[in-house]
Amino acid sequence: MSEKIELVGLNLEELTAHLAEIGEPKFRAKQIYQWVYVHGATDFEQMTNLSKDLRARLAEKFSLTRPKIVTEQISKDKTHKWLLEFADGQRIETVYIPEADRGSVCISTQVGCAVGCTFCHTGSQKITRNLTAGEIVSQFMVARDVYKEWPSTSQENRMISNIVVMGMGEPLHNVDNVIAALKLLTDGDGIAISKRKVTLSTSGIVPNMLRIAKETGVKLAVSLHAPNNEKRSQIMPINKRYPIEEILQACQEYQKIVTSRFITFEYLMLDGINDSLDDARQLIDLMKKFKIGAKFNLIPFNPWPGCPYQPSSNNRVHAFAKELEKSGFAAPIRVARGQDILAACGQLKSKKLV
Ligand code: SAH
Ligand code: SF4
C-alpha cells in the first residue's frame, strides 16, 4: 500500500484535489477541512456528518496525526514547554506562554538553525532540516488539544490568542513552508487566528522579508541586537551578508505593505557588548534616519550551559530603556518566561543537554 497523505498542512485547494481523486466533490473537502482546522479532529470517526463508508475510505488514504509529545514541562510561572517528535524521529520544542487574559504559542520552524548567532542555544545546534507546513501548524494544534481550546470543545474564555514565530529556527530560511503554515493559521474558515495576533521574528534574511508582508500580512519583529554593523557582525555573523542598512530598507518597504503596524526591534542586552548609553543613542539615530515606525523589545539575555555572555545588569537595562523612551520609542523590557525549564527565548534546543 502506498503511503498515506497527511491532512494537517493541506490547504483547501490541495485537499479538494486529493478528494477529487477518490471521486468526492468540493463541498466534502470543505467539511473535512473544517473537521481538521475548526474542530481539531484527530480521528476520522469524529467526522459525524460523513457516511461511515466515506470515513473508512478516508482512513485508508489519509492520515490525521499530531507530533508525539515526548516530554512536557510546566514552569513556576505556568509557561508550558513541549518536546515534540515528528514521524522521522526529529524533535523540536514548542512553548505556550500564558498571560493574564491571553496567551501566545511560540512555534518552531526548523530543527536547529543555520544562522549561528553566538548568543543562541538553538544556533549552537546547527541545522538538521526544515519543518513542513503541517509540522509548523501542528505545533499550534497540540497546544489547542492540550488546553481543550478548539471552538467546539472549549468554554467561552479561550486563552490561546496569539502566535509568535520565535521558536527554533530562522523562519525566512524556510520561507515557503512558513508562508503556507501562516496562511493556514490565519485562515478565517479554519484555525482563524487574526493576522494582527501573529508575529514573525527574523534575524533579517532580506530577500525573503517582503514575501512575508505581501503573502501573509503578519506583524514583523527583527532581531537587531546591535546599533552598528561592526558590533552586529560580531554577535550575528549573518550581518556580513545582510547588513543593518539593507534590513532597515526592507523594514521601510514592509511597513508600506503592512500599514499601521509598528515593527518591533528585538534587542538582546549583553553585558559590556551592546548595552551602553552610546549604543542606545546610535540606535536612536539609526531609527530616525530610516524613519521607521519602530518599537523596541529589550530582551534580558537568557544564559544556557556553556554560553559566552552575561546578562546586562538591571540598572544598565533600565538606563538603556529610558534613553530610548526619551526619544519617543516604546522600549518595554521583556519579562523572561519559563527560564527554570529552559523555555525562554534562545534557550530552546531539541538535543539532550550534556
Ligand atoms: N530566528 C529568529 C526567530 C527565533 S529566535 C530570530 O532570530 O529572530 C527568537 C528571539 O530570541 C530572537 O530575537 C533571538 O535573538 C532571541 N534570542 C536568541 N538567543 C537568546 C538568548 N540566549 N536569550 C534571550 N533571547 C535570545
Ligand atoms: Fe537562529 Fe534566531 Fe537563534 Fe539566530 S537567534 S541562531 S537566527 S534561532
Whether the CB of 201 sits within 6 Å of ligand 1: yes
Amino acid (one-letter) located at 251 = C
| pLDDT given for residue 353 in this prediction | 34
Report the nearest-CA residue for atom 2 of ligand 2.
170
Per-residue pLDDT of the chain (354 residues; tens, 9 = 90+): 568 999 999 999 999 999 999 999 999 999 999 999 999 999 999 999 999 999 999 999 999 999 999 999 999 999 999 999 999 999 999 999 999 889 999 999 999 999 999 999 876 778 999 999 999 999 999 999 999 999 876 556 789 999 999 999 999 999 999 999 999 999 999 999 999 999 999 999 999 999 999 999 999 999 999 999 999 999 999 999 999 999 999 999 999 999 767 999 999 999 999 999 999 999 999 999 999 999 999 999 988 888 999 999 999 999 999 999 999 999 999 887 777 777 666 666 654 332
CB < 8 Å & 24+ apart, contacts of 21-26:
22/57, 22/61, 24/54
Mutate to test the pocket of ligand 2, among 170, 242, 265 (most ligand atoms within 8 A of CB): 170
Whether the CB of 124 sits within 6 Å of ligand 1: no
Does the annotation count 345 as an active-site position?
A: yes
Whether the CB of 202 sits within 6 Å of ligand 2: no
Whether the CB of 203 sits within 6 Å of ligand 2: yes
Ligand 1 atom closest to residue 303's alpha carbon, by position in its atom list? 22
| pLDDT given for residue 157 in this prediction | 75
Whether the CB of 170 sits within 6 Å of ligand 2: yes
Give the C-alpha separation, 103 to 108, whole Å: 17
Mutate to test the pocket of ligand 2, among 106, 107, 120 (most ligand atoms within 8 A of CB): 120
Does the annotation count 13 as an active-site position?
A: no
Report the nearest-CA residue for atom 4 of ligand 2.
117
In angstroms, what is the span from residue 117 Cα to ligand 2's centroid? 6
Report the nearest-CA residue for atom 18 of ligand 1.
346
| pLDDT given for residue 153 in this prediction | 64
Whether the CB of 268 sits within 6 Å of ligand 1: yes
| pLDDT given for residue 156 in this prediction | 67
Ligand 2 atom closest to residue 120's alpha carbon, by position in its atom list? 3
Reduced to 3 states (helix: H, G, I; strand: E, B; else coil), residue 82 is strand
Whether the CB of 236 sits within 6 Å of ligand 1: no
Asked if 212 and 176 count as a contact pair (C-beta separation under 8 A), the reply is: no
Give the C-alpha separation, 335 to 345, whole Å: 10
DSSP conformation letters of 209-264: HHHHHHHT--EEEEE---SSHHHHHHH-GGGGTS-HHHHHHHHHHHHHHSTT-PEE
Task: Tell me the whole-structure pTM to 2 decimals.
Answer: 0.94
Which listed ligand is nearest to 349 at the C-alpha? 2
Report the nearest-CA residue for atom 26 of ligand 1.
346
For residue 19, the surrounding DSSP H or E stretch is helix 12-21
| pLDDT given for residue 250 in this prediction | 97
| pLDDT given for residue 94 in this prediction | 96
Ligand 2 atom closest to residue 168's alpha carbon, by position in its atom list? 8
Q: Of 178, 159, 182, 158, which is closest to residue 170 (Cα–Cα)?
A: 178
Cell triple for 121: 542555544
Whether the CB of 239 sits within 6 Å of ligand 1: no
Asked if 299 and 256 count as a contact pair (C-beta separation under 8 A), the reply is: no
| pLDDT given for residue 354 in this prediction | 28
